[in-house]
Amino acid sequence: MITISNKEHWLIEQASRYPHNAAIQTEQGSILYQKFLEECNLTANYLLTNDVRENDRVGILYTHSYKFFVIVNALWFIGAIPVPLNTRKTINEIEDELHIADVKFLIIDDSLKSQFSTLEFQNVLDINIIKIHETRKHNFIIRNSQFSILNCSLIMFTSGSTGNPKAVVHTFKSLYESVLTLNSFAELSPNDIWLASLPFYHIGGFMILIRSLIAACTVIFPTSPKFEDIEQTIKRSNPSHISLVPTTLRELLDHNVKPNKNLKFVFLGGGPSQTELIQAAVKKSWPIVKVYGSTETCSMVTALHPDDIKSKPDSAGKLIGQNKIKIINKDKNALGEIAVSSKSLFKEYYNDQQTTNNKLQNDWYYTGDYGWIDDEGYLYIESRRDDLIISGGENISAYEVELIIRKYPLVKDVIVFGLQDKTWGQIVCTAIVSETTSEDEIKDFLKEKIAAYKIPKRFFIVDEIPRNEMDKVNRTELLKMLKLS
């Protein structure tokens, strides 16, 4: 049950109401709400002494640590705006995003400083939270900005159909409404224990932290979101709620990991979820809830309850909360673009009014995903964004990878596309027209340009890529030519 008032910063209120409840749990032990508030306030004061001010956008390059959440709350106390950044991206990609979001300060985890040592950015804050807390004065001053639920709370990057990074702006209200939406599906409680099982630079991982805070429950931080650490934390900490991508769920099943006794729900998202995988998990008593949503919708829009998985295994479920969906269909057929109306929708794309106007129209978000709704109100996703490949929970723009490959001088033509894969959900593939280049040469070229997870796993060297008179690729003919259909 959600009872927070939204009249002051969420952590301040929860620490007042539940001072002795565990807010954080790590391998080193538990941190109570009152202690967590103190850490966040100390960090906020430190940031203030380093000239971080209200409305400043602050980039965060951090490992999978509770200290990430300390920094987020500290920035909120100041009135600054956190911009989580994907630690798996290249330095060039990070520099582009820092520019796009007008980031003023950057915080880098000590363990990542060597990885990003050549990053060109002036205002990198040397923040060591442990040292800050060790040197604190007993009578420190708490200086918090005025809380408003309509203020900007987050800028998070997402992959877009143009291949360019898009900075999604959320308010405190959209985060809060997202939690209310989930609460209407699965009533949340201060007794819940959430596993921080997804990276925090993705909306699915970030919202685990927000749900825990707004419901005043506990969030467990494994060492990393890698399978081995997730497996050990499930066994050791007995969480009640887990969010997974299909790749991790498959690994749990392959290693015969059984669901823990306290487990209520496993929210499965992050890309196409194979029916056979879900059925295998349900057969082994995993309480799977298949969900559909995006960064722009602040996570979940629809959910398929465990009771419905047997009868509707291919569905993305029904609407939850007060969310609405309409299918935009110019040809009057059943299939069409999915548009979403929700109280948790993003405010805008930062500094990109044109894309905002294209995607947000009369309070409807045009997703670029295509699907249909059956007579009982269940949503089916026929295809996600034409050029978006979701591999192992990571969003990859095919167009972006194409643009980079085209820069290689021996490539005459190229198309990048996704193929279904049991392990990764989808894998990145490319067909290339070139007389002299090889797969290894292009891979070596790409290693310096884009993150490793974006590099194609399958290469096809072809004489020609089939295109129509409008120069658009005939994907059906291409797949037949490559003997993939």
| Residue-wise pLDDT tens digits, 392-450 | 888 888 888 988 998 898 998 999 999 999 889 899 999 999 988 889 999 999 998 99
Residues 6+ apart with CB under 8 A from 213: 10, 11, 14, 23
In angstroms, the CA 168 to CA 104 distance is 17
Beta carbons of 85 and 59 less than 8 angstroms apart: yes
For helices 439-447 and 398-406, the axis angle rounded to 10 degrees is 110
Provide the mean pLDDT of the chain: 90
Main-chain phi, psi angles of 461, to 5 degrees: -90, 120
pLDDT bucket at 371, cuts 50 / 70 / 90? confident
pLDDT at 126 over 80: no
**Which tokens in the block code for residue 257?**
């990991």
Q: What is the pLDDT of residue 423?
A: 87
Going by pLDDT thresholds of 50, 70 and 90, the confidence category of residue 330 is: low
Distance CA 365, CA 251 (A): 34
Q: So what's the pLDDT on residue 470? A: 45
Residue-wise pLDDT tens digits, 30-41: 999 999 999 999
The pLDDT, as a whole number, for residue 477 is 87
Domains and CATH numbers, the chain: 10-380 (3.40.50.12780), 388-481 (3.30.300.30)
- Whether 472 has a pLDDT exceeding 80, the answer reads no
Give the mean pLDDT of 376-403: 83
Instruction: Give the pLDDT score at 18.
Output: 97
